[in-house]
Amino acid sequence: MTTQPTLDQNIQFLVTANYQRMLSYEQAAFLTTEQSFKDFYTARADESEANIRQLQHLVNQTMVKAFAAAPTAPFAKLLQGRKSTIKILESVKTIEKTVVSWYKNTLREIAYLPKEMIQLVESQYHALTHTQLKLEHL
C-alpha cells in the first residue's frame, strides 16, 4: 500500500499535467483564427481547470507546487511560432497524446488506492481519450 506522500506526488503530477494542458489550450485558442477551433480549445482548457479542482479535492488540499512548475512546462515550445490552424492542431494533438499517456501510467501506479480515487482519475482519463479521438477527426 502506498503512503500519503506518494499519493500526493501522483495526484500533484496530474494537477501539473492538467495545468500545462490548460495553458496550452488557452494559447492555442488565442493563436487560432477559426472560431470553431477557438471554442474547442477553450472548452478543453475549461475541462483541465475542472480536472485540477477535482484532483485537489481528492486529496483535500491545495497543491500550489504544481503551479510553480508551470513556467517550465514541456509544452510551451510546441505552440511558439506556430500560427496556422493546421500547425496549432498538430501541436495540440501531441500535447493530448502526452497527457493521455501520463494518465495511463499514473493509473497503473495508483491501482491499489481507494475505489473512489481511482474512479475519478479513470473518468478524467476516459474524457481525455475521447478528446484525443475528436482531435483525430478535426
Record the pTM.
0.82
User: Who wins on pLDDT, 138 or 29?
Assistant: 29
CATH of the domain at 105: 1.20.1260.10
User: Who wins on pLDDT, 67 or 83?
Assistant: 83
For residue 112, the model assigns a pLDDT of 82
Residue span of the structural domain in which 10 resides:
4-136
Look at the chain and report how many structural domains it folds into. 1
b (16+ CB within 10 A) / e for 26-54? bbbbebbeeeebeebbeebbebbbebbeb
Q: Tell me: the pLDDT tens digits for 6-56? A: 566 888 889 989 999 999 999 999 989 999 999 999 999 999 999 999 998
Of the pLDDT bands very low, low, confident and very high (cuts 50, 70, 90), residue 64 is: very low
